[in-house]
Chains A and B, each alone.
Chain A
Amino acid sequence: MGLEDQAAVKRVADEHGSGVVVLLGTPDAESTQTLAQTVVVGDPSYAGPLAGVPLGLPVLHVFEVRDQVPVDVYEAQVALMEMSLDRDAILAGLREARRVAATT
């Protein structure tokens, strides 16, 4: 995640405190894992404003909230992406990020 984006995430998390959830629309396992780690335990590259800053935000991928979204909205905005991407690998990347966060 870019430095300006990290700063924006940190500012919003600081402003709103608990009740903030990160919802990912990442297209592969690697970006999913990296972004999730960044907003939970801090910037893994130790380069940005979130280096060493464990925000501890809950992270979900948009694929995980299907049952909370009206069917027509999900079909129009997510379903095509879900069909064309490796859903299992993306969610495995997120599980790995959660595992790392739980052991950090």
Chain B
Amino acid sequence: MELRGKKVIALGERDGVPGPARRAGAEVVLTLTACFV
């Protein structure tokens, strides 16, 4: 699936999700980086 133009909800323990999403052309509308494990 192409991320460009999409609105992304970034979920994960790690911080390294919103940055790549933005650079793939998506708009990050929510980031939750709390520990899920």
The chain A residues found within 8 Å of chain B, CB to CB, are: 1-2, 5, 8-9, 12-13, 15-16, 19-28, 30-31, 34-35, 39, 57-58, 60, 62, 65, 68-70, 73-74, 77-78, 81
Choose from B2, B5, B13 the contact partner of A25 (Cβ within 8 Å).
B13
Please, which residues of chain B bring their CB within 8 A of the CB of A13?
Answer: 9
Taking a contact as CB atoms under 8 Å apart, the answer to whether A31 and B23 are in contact is no
A77 to B16, CA, bound (A): 5
Task: Count A-B contacts at CB 8 Å.
Answer: 111
Inter-subunit contact B6/A24 (CB<8 Å): no
How close is B29's CB to chain A, nearest CB, in angstroms? 5
Query: Chain A: which residue is nearest B20 at the CB level?
Result: A69
B28 CB to nearest A CB, Å = 8
> Interface residue count for B (Cβ, 8 Å)?
31
Asked if B17 and A23 sit within 8 Å, CB to CB, the answer is yes
By a beta-carbon cutoff of 8 Å, the part of chain B in contact with chain A is 1-17, 19-21, 23-26, 29-30, 32-34, 36-37
Residue B20 contacts which of A26, A34, A35, A77 (CB distance < 8 angstroms)? A77
Does the CB pair A25–B10 fall under 8 Å?
Answer: yes
On whether the beta carbons of A23 and B2 are closer than 8 Å, the reply is no
| Chain A, residue nearest B9 (CB) | A22
Contact A73 B11, beta carbon cutoff 8 Å: no
A1 to B29, CA, bound (A): 18
